[in-house]
A and B are shown apart, each in its own frame.
Chain A
Amino acid sequence: MKRPMRFVGDVAQLPAYGHGHRSLTWWGTMGFVAIESMAFVLTIGIYLYLAGHTPEWPPHGNQPALTFGTTFLALIVLSIAPNVWLNRRARAENLSTVRLGLVVMSLVGLALLAIRVFEFPALGVSYKESAYGSVTVTLLGLHTTHLATDVMDTLVVTALMFTRHGRARRFVDVSDNAIYWNFVVVAWVPIYLVIYFGPRWL
Chain B
Amino acid sequence: MSAVDDPWLDPAQAQARLARTWGSLPGWWGALATVDHKRIGRRYLVTAFTFFALGGMLALGMRMQLAQAGSTLVGPDLYRQLFTVHSTTMMFLFAVPVMQGIAIYTVPLMAGTRTLAFPRLSAFSYWVYLLGGAMLWLAFLVDAGPDTGWFSYTPLAESQFSPGKRVDIWAQMVTFTEVSALAVAVSLVTTIVKQRAPGMTLARMPLHLWATLITSLMVVFAMPAVMLATALLIMDRLVGTQFFAPSGGGDSLLWQHMFWFFGHPEVYIIFLPALGMVSTVVETFTRRRIFGYPVMVLALAMTALFAFGLWVHHMYATGLPRLGNTFFMGASMIIAIPSGVQIFCWLATLWQGRPRFATPLMYMLGFIVVFVLGGLTGVMLASVPLDLQLHDSFFVVAHFHYVLIGGAVFPLIGALYYWWPKLTGRMPGERAGQWSFWLLFIGFNVTFFPQHLLGLAGMPRRVYTYAQGLGWDGLNLLSTAGSIVIGMSVLVTAWNLLRSLRRGEHAPPNPWDAGTLEWATASPPPTWNFAHQPVATDAHPLWRERESLPCMSGLALDKRELLLTSGVEARPDVRETSPGPSIWPLATALAVAALFVGSIYTPWAVVIGALPVTVTLIGWFWPKSLREDE
- Contact B551–A54 (Cβ < 8 Å): no
- Contact B629–A5 (Cβ < 8 Å): no
Give the residues in chain A near B248, CB-CB below 8 Å. Answer: 129-131, 134
Give complex CA distance A50, B242 in Å: 11
Give the residues in chain B near A3, CB-CB below 8 Å. Answer: 520, 542, 545-549
Give the residues in chain A near B240, CB-CB below 8 Å. Answer: 127-128
Q: Number of A-B pairs whose CB atoms are under 8 Å? A: 201
Chain B nearest CB from A136 CB (Å) reads 11
Among B194, B243, B532, B629, contact of A46 (Cβ-Cβ < 8 Å)? B243
- Contact A23–B574 (Cβ < 8 Å): yes
When each residue 404-444 of chain B gets 1 if its CB lies under 8 Å from chain A and 0 otherwise, what string results? Answer: 00000000000000000000000000000000000000000
Give the residues in chain A near B542, CB-CB below 8 Å. Answer: 3
Interface residues on A, range: 35 or more
Give the residues in chain B near A164, CB-CB below 8 Å. Answer: 626
- Contact A134–B186 (Cβ < 8 Å): no
Among A15, A24, A49, A54, contact of B190 (Cβ-Cβ < 8 Å)? A24
Give complex CA distance A42, B257 in Å: 11
B475 at the interface (CB under 8 A from A): no
| 6 A-B contacts (beta carbon < 8 Å) | A2-B509, A42-B261, A43-B228, A53-B251, A134-B250, A169-B630
Chain A nearest CB from B178 CB (Å) reads 10
A199 at the interface (CB under 8 A from B): no
- Contact A31–B186 (Cβ < 8 Å): yes
Residue in B closest to A127 when the chains form the complex, CB atoms: B241
8 A Cβ contacts from A156-174 to B: 156, 160, 164-165, 167-170
Chain B nearest CB from A12 CB (Å) reads 3
Chain B nearest CB from A74 CB (Å) reads 28
Top 8 nearest A-B pairs (CB, nearest first) are A12-B554, A31-B186, A134-B241, A11-B554, A131-B249, A131-B250, A27-B190, A38-B224
Residue in A closest to B606 when the chains form the complex, CB atoms: A145
B564 at the interface (CB under 8 A from A): yes
- A39 and B227 contact, Cβ closer than 8 Å, known pairs A53-B251, A170-B629: yes
Known: A5-B551, A15-B575. 16 other contacts (CB 8 A): A7-B532, A14-B563, A16-B576, A22-B564, A23-B564, A28-B190, A49-B251, A127-B235, A127-B241, A128-B240, A134-B243, A134-B248, A138-B241, A160-B622, A164-B626, A169-B628
Give the residues in chain B near A6, CB-CB below 8 Å. Answer: 548-551
A9 at the interface (CB under 8 A from B): yes
Chain A nearest CB from B107 CB (Å) reads 14
- Contact A5–B532 (Cβ < 8 Å): yes
Give complex CA distance A49, B225 in Å: 15
- Interface size counted on chain B using CB atoms at 8 A: 76
Give residues in B with beta carbon < 8 Å to A: 4, 6-7, 117-118, 121, 182, 185-187, 189-190, 193-194, 198, 220-221, 223-225, 227-228, 232, 235, 239-243, 245, 248-251, 254, 257-258, 261, 508-510, 520, 531-533, 535, 542, 545-555, 563-564, 567, 572-577, 614, 618, 621-623, 626, 628-630
Among B220, B554, B567, B575, contact of A38 (Cβ-Cβ < 8 Å)? B220
Give complex CA distance A142, B248 in Å: 21
A77 at the interface (CB under 8 A from B): no
- Contact B251–A42 (Cβ < 8 Å): no
- Contact B577–A28 (Cβ < 8 Å): no
- Contact A31–B572 (Cβ < 8 Å): no
- Contact B552–A10 (Cβ < 8 Å): yes
A81 at the interface (CB under 8 A from B): no
- Contact B621–A156 (Cβ < 8 Å): yes
Give the residues in chain B near A123, CB-CB below 8 Å. Answer: none
Give complex CA distance A190, B361 in Å: 51
- Contact A11–B533 (Cβ < 8 Å): yes
- Contact B235–A165 (Cβ < 8 Å): no
- Contact B220–A17 (Cβ < 8 Å): no
Residue in A closest to B572 when the chains form the complex, CB atoms: A11
Chain A nearest CB from B474 CB (Å) reads 47
Give the residues in chain A near B225, CB-CB below 8 Å. Answer: 38, 42
Give the residues in chain A near B531, CB-CB below 8 Å. Answer: 5
- Contact B242–A128 (Cβ < 8 Å): yes
- Contact B575–A14 (Cβ < 8 Å): yes
A102 at the interface (CB under 8 A from B): no
- Contact B574–A22 (Cβ < 8 Å): yes
Among B182, B545, B572, B626, contact of A165 (Cβ-Cβ < 8 Å)? B626
Among A14, A28, A43, A156, contact of B572 (Cβ-Cβ < 8 Å)? A14
- Contact A133–B575 (Cβ < 8 Å): no
Among A1, A5, A34, A152, contact of B220 (Cβ-Cβ < 8 Å)? A34
Give the residues in chain A near B508, CB-CB below 8 Å. Answer: 1
Give the residues in chain A near B220, CB-CB below 8 Å. Answer: 31, 34-35, 38
A32 at the interface (CB under 8 A from B): yes
Residue in A closest to B521 when the chains form the complex, CB atoms: A2
A4 at the interface (CB under 8 A from B): yes
Residue in A closest to B245 when the chains form the complex, CB atoms: A131
Give the residues in chain B near A13, CB-CB below 8 Å. Answer: 554
Give the residues in chain A near B554, CB-CB below 8 Å. Answer: 9-14
Give the residues in chain A near B227, CB-CB below 8 Å. Answer: 39
- Contact A42–B258 (Cβ < 8 Å): yes
8 A Cβ contacts from A107-144 to B: 127-135, 138
- Contact A42–B224 (Cβ < 8 Å): yes
Give the residues in chain B near A132, CB-CB below 8 Å. Answer: 249
Give complex CA distance A42, B182 in Å: 16
Give the residues in chain B near A165, CB-CB below 8 Å. Answer: 623, 626, 629
- Contact B618–A54 (Cβ < 8 Å): no
A198 at the interface (CB under 8 A from B): no
- Contact B254–A9 (Cβ < 8 Å): no
- Contact A128–B239 (Cβ < 8 Å): yes
Give complex CA distance A83, B228 in Å: 30
A59 at the interface (CB under 8 A from B): yes
Give complex CA distance A29, B408 in Å: 31
Chain B nearest CB from A15 CB (Å) reads 6
- Contact B249–A16 (Cβ < 8 Å): no
Give the residues in chain B near A7, CB-CB below 8 Å. Answer: 7, 532, 550-553
Chain B nearest CB from A16 CB (Å) reads 5
Residue of B549, B574, B614, B626 with most partner-chain A CB within 10 A = B574
